[in-house]
Structure 1
Amino acid sequence: MIRKLGQVMLYVNDQEKAVTFWQEKVGFHVVADETAGPMRWIEIAPTKDSETSLVLHNKKAVARMSPDLHLGTPSLLFYSDRFEQLRRHLMDHQVTVGEIVDMPSGRTFNFADEEDNYFAVMEMK
C-alpha cells in the first residue's frame, strides 16, 4: 500500500538554472546530484530530512528516452508556517510573486521559477 509521496519529478530546460533558483532564491537544499549515462538528476528538498523531495530532470534528455512521457510541470502546493517571511524573502530575491489570496482553506500566494512555472504556497499556522 502507498504510505507517502516520496519524490516529484520536475522536467526543466536548464538544470543548473533550476537548482540555483531553488537553492538560492527559495532556500531548498541539494539532497543528491547523480549522473548515470546521459541522465543527470538533482534531488532537492526544503530541508535535508524532508519526507518529500523534488527531482530536477533535463526535459530534453527525458523526452529522448521516453517520448510519450508527459513533461508538463505539476501543480504543487507548498505549506509554510512562516508565510509572510517566505513571501518577503522571495520578493527580495526578485522572484515573481503573486498577491496574497484568502481561500476557504487559508491564505495563499503563488510564485514563478526561472522558466515561468507557477507554484503555490499556503499558510499553515
Structure 2
Amino acid sequence: MQIRVLNVSQAAAENRLDGALAALDALEKDLESAAGGGLVSASRYRDIEAALTAVRAEISRHIEAQAAAASTAKAAAVAAEPPTADASGAQSQPVPPQPEEPAAAPAPESAPQGPELPDAAKDSKGKAKGTGKP
C-alpha cells in the first residue's frame, strides 16, 4: 500500500491528475482487500479512507480548476479572433485599401521684402546723394 501512496503522490506532483486518480482507485481497492483480509484494523481503515477521500477531493478540485482555466483561455482566444462572418451569415469581404492622396507641396514663401519704408522714403529710392554732398 505504501507503493500505491507513492504512485498517487508522484502522479500528483507531476501534474498527471488523471493518473493520480487511477492510482488512488487502485490504492482504495488494495485497502478494501487488506481490511477484508484482516490486515488492517477497522479504525485504521477509517483513518486511511478519510485521508484518501480528502486526497480525491483535492485532486478533483485541481482537475476542475484546470478545466475552467482551459475553458476561459479558449473563450478568450475565440473572442480575440476576428469574425469570419457577419450577423446575416454572409462572409465578410475584406475592404481594399484606399490609395493615399499625395500630400500637397507647401506653397513657396515669397522672398522677404525688407522693412516697410515710409512713402517719402519710397519716392527717394534710387536717388542717391552725390559724393561729398551734405
With a CA cutoff of 8 Å and minimum separation of 6, indicate the structure with the bigger relative contact order: 1
TM range (shorter): under 0.3
More helix, by proportion: 2
Select the structure of larger CA radius of gyration: 2
More strand, by proportion: 1
After TM superposition, the score normalised by the length of structure 2 is 0.22
